Amino acid sequence: MATYDDVAQLALALPRTAEATSHGWRTWKVEGRQFVWERPFRQADLRRFGDDPVPAGSILAAAVDDLEEKDAVLAAHPESHFTIAHFDGYAAVLVRLEAVEDGVLAETVEDAWAARAPHSLVTRHRPPR
């Protein structure tokens, strides 16, 4: 089971990242742009679940390139990645830390970093895919 400390270790290993807090929750930024962050459910989120089960445990939000990438990530990792109505039309996914595999979490954090980092920094850090 992954933790926010695991996320911190992965995020801070990437170039030009820093940890901060926003509204009392941990967030990780690259060049001042948030790319992964703690995302507990708010009361409005809980009401929107209605009778559906609410995902348990720690939830991480992670940026993605665009809405097509969001759909691809959700399809590739249905056991750990999901979205909620609040994120409709927004290029980010939610991740159940208790359900995500280590390698998938590492890929999610790095891809989120790449989605928000300056292009020149991304190309220096990793070769094109």
Domain CATH code at residue 32: 3.90.1150.30
- At 4, list the tokens: 């926010």
> What digits encode the pLDDT tens for the residues 9-37?
999 999 999 999 999 999 999 999 999 99
In this prediction, residue 36 carries a pLDDT of: 98
In this prediction, residue 128 carries a pLDDT of: 62
pTM of the model: 0.93
In this prediction, residue 127 carries a pLDDT of: 63
- Please provide residue 35's backbone torsions phi and psi, each rounded to the nearest 5 degrees: -125, -30
Say how far apart CA 82 and CA 120 lie, in whole Å.
Answer: 30
pLDDT-flagged residues of the chain (< 70) = 127-129
Closest CA to 39 of 86, 73, 78: 86
- Whether residue 19 contacts residue 32, with contact meaning beta carbons closer than 8 Å, is answered with no
In this prediction, residue 14 carries a pLDDT of: 97
Range of the domain at 107: 4-125
Q: How many domains does the chain have?
A: 1
Q: What angle do CA 39, 43, 44 make, to 5 degrees?
A: 90
In this prediction, residue 20 carries a pLDDT of: 97
